[in-house]
Structure 1
Amino acid sequence: MKDRFEVARRIMTFVLVVQAILGFVLDWSPNHLLNPEWHGHARFHGALLLFLLTGVSGTGLWLLWRKSKEPEVAIKVAGLISFSMWTPFFYVTFLLPGSTLWAGPPANVPHIAGWVFYPNVVVAALFLAITAVAWRLPKRQS
């Protein structure tokens, strides 16, 4: 059980660190926050959310690595942070009319075998799968 917890903790550390870094690498760019076509207040909210994600991910890291009588709670919280970050990729466009998963020109949306392909949704699915594995690892076997 302890070894499984340690593996889960390391996986969740990876997830929290990478999601915080990826946010800045991918979103602090000319096709997102630095896009002159974006309204200034939209850029403000985008940057605000990047810093919020970094702070929340940092809090998750602290929970994962602090001494605790209930270390499994840290895995759950780290998982919830990750789930909260990545699941909206699958429903936000349904809740917010006019929003899109593609940051480029609409004519340049990638397709594979005739199907629309959003790379960010693939990344979200990958992070959700990794998080689900870490979430399940420490659970006792019945």
Structure 2
Amino acid sequence: MKALSIGKVLITLVAIWATAGSYIFDWNHTHIYNPAWPPHAKFHNAQTMLLGTIIGLSSIWVLWSVKADAYYRLRIASALASYYWITQAGSLLFPGTALVDPQFAYLGQAPAQIIVDIVMLLMLTIGFTLEKKRISSNARL
């Protein structure tokens, strides 16, 4: 049986959020059903949602199923789980991007995405550190 540890649980939670979070927050009138969005913008929204799903599921699979060195699995799973959050934060560097469309600015969600990015990356950092420490201590036994 696989060892259940706080580090693995934190990484798994971040991966699950990448897998499902965009469906919770994008499958509505502000994104996929937004009449102001042209079809190509909706295409890329759908692409991002599916990409989050694939990245999150891949991270979980590597962390819990792949038969390989524990530290290798940890590094790959943590990297995969970080990609969605890094790219979401990095998207603000592109011209014409914003955290929220002007017609929905009243919802007060502008900083929420960046806060979620920071929290998810912090959880990954803590999870990685704890799991690396656990692996190292098991290797010494």
Q: Assess same fold via TM > 0.5.
A: yes
Q: Is the 8 A contact 2:58 2:80 kept in 1?
A: no
Shift of 1:40: 0.3
Structure 1: stretches of 5+ with no match in the other structure: 112-116
1:84 aligned partner, one-letter code: Y
After superposition, the Cα gap between the structure-2 partners of 1:90 and 1:50, relative to the gap in structure 1 and judged at 3 Å, is closer
Q: Is the 8 A contact 1:16 1:60 kept in 2?
A: yes
- Give the whole-Å Cα distance in 1 for the aligned partners of 2:91 and 2:53: 21
- Give the whole-Å Cα distance in 1 for the aligned partners of 2:83 and 2:13: 16
Equivalent in the alignment of 1:134 = 127
Equivalent in the alignment of 1:71 = 70
Equivalent in the alignment of 1:114 = none
Taking the TM superposition and a 5 Å limit, the aligned residue runs for 1:1-142 are 6-66=5-65, 68-94=67-93, 96-105=94-103, 108=106, 110=108, 118-137=111-130, 138-139=132-133, 140=136
Percent identity between the two aligned chains: 22
Stretch deviating more after TM superposition (66-75 or 14-23): 66-75
Structure 2: stretches of 5+ with no match in the other structure: none
1:126 aligned partner, one-letter code: V
Shift of 1:121: 0.8
Specify the SS of the correspondent of 1:132: helix
Alignment TM-score, normalising by the size of structure 1: 0.79
Shift of 1:104: 4.6
- Give the whole-Å Cα distance in 2 for the aligned partners of 1:61 and 1:88: 19
CA-based RMSD: 2.5
Q: Is the 8 A contact 1:64 1:78 kept in 2?
A: yes
2:43 aligned partner, one-letter code: F
Shift of 1:36: 1.0
Q: How big is each residue's C-alpha offset from its partner over 1:10-57, in whole Å with a ceiling of 9 and x where there is no partner?
A: 211111112211111001111011101111011011112211211221
